[in-house]
Amino acid sequence: MVDVAIVGGGPAGLSAGLFASKNGLDTVLFDTDKTWMHKAHLFNYLGIGSVGGSEFMATARQQVDDFGVDRKQGEKVTAVEESGDGFAVTTEADEYEADYVVLATGASRDLAESLGCEFDGDLVDVGVSMETSVEGAYATGGMVRAEEWQAVISAGDGAAAALNILSNEKGEHYHDFDVPDTAESVFGGLIDDE
């Protein structure tokens, strides 16, 4: 049993994984590497001047790995179902149990539909917390948006989902704030993990 299972490892899923694992949640992420980022070159990601999409992905993957996400690259999720108080996640290779699930499969909405999430037209219906009508199940990125398909928006969706999960777990609004004094310990942790 893990705390969070994330389906999809584009900007939305990786961002959800980073925030969840950095803040102590046991997190597994599945990805089949069909991200649109391999076709993109970013000039519009705030704080980054210019970067190739695949190069961005390599950095982002390294970052989530350093923060302890169990990234199952190449493992396709075939089903997500409610199970007890959480979810059963079936892949081509194995089965997993998780308290929360974050769907981050780009424009593909099949898993959200089979899980029973409510839709608003073609889009999975979520608010700013990114939680779907199925308690504990979150939807992020392309599947919740008509056309606002930008990497920075997907990354924000993933972060919002993870912070909402953290708030649920902690029982109060959770902030992932670092200040200059914590920089050394964060990087020390990363270096120790290598």
Ligand X SMILES: Cc1cc2nc3c(=O)[nH]c(=O)nc-3n(C[C@H](O)[C@H](O)[C@H](O)COP(=O)(O)OP(=O)(O)OC[C@H]3O[C@@H](n4cnc5c(N)ncnc54)[C@H](O)[C@@H]3O)c2cc1C
Convert 136-170 to b/e letters by CB count within 10 Å (16 or more is b).
bbbbbbbbbbeeeebbebbbbbbbbbbbbbbebbe
Q: Is 12 in the site for ligand X (CB under 6 A)?
A: yes
Q: Is 175 in the site for ligand X (CB under 6 A)?
A: no
191 Cβ partners below 8 Å, 6+ apart? none
Q: How far apart are CA 172 and CA 184, in angstroms?
A: 27
The binder of ligand X chosen from 36, 82, 90, 190 (CB under 6 A): 36
Smallest separation, CB 191 to ligand X (Å) = 28
Q: How far is CA 59 from CA 63, 65, 93, 119, 186, in A?
A: 6, 10, 26, 33, 17
Q: Is 10 in the site for ligand X (CB under 6 A)?
A: yes
Smallest separation, CB 169 to ligand X (Å) = 23
Per-residue x/- track, 80-119, ligand X (CB under 6 A): ------------------------xxx-x-----------
Q: Is 16 in the site for ligand X (CB under 6 A)?
A: no
User: Pairing between strand 70-73 and 77-83?
Assistant: unpaired
**Quick one: which segment of 24-32, 81-89, 123-131, 181-189 binds ligand X (CB under 6 A)?**
24-32
Task: Classify burial at 192, counting beta carbons within 10 Å of its beta carbon; exposed 0-12, middle 13-18, buried 19 or more.
Answer: exposed
**Quick one: which segment of 122-130, 146-154, 167-175, 184-192 binds ligand X (CB under 6 A)?**
146-154
**For binding to ligand X (CB under 6 A), which residues are involved?**
7-13, 30-37, 39-42, 44, 76-77, 104-106, 108, 141-142, 149-152, 154
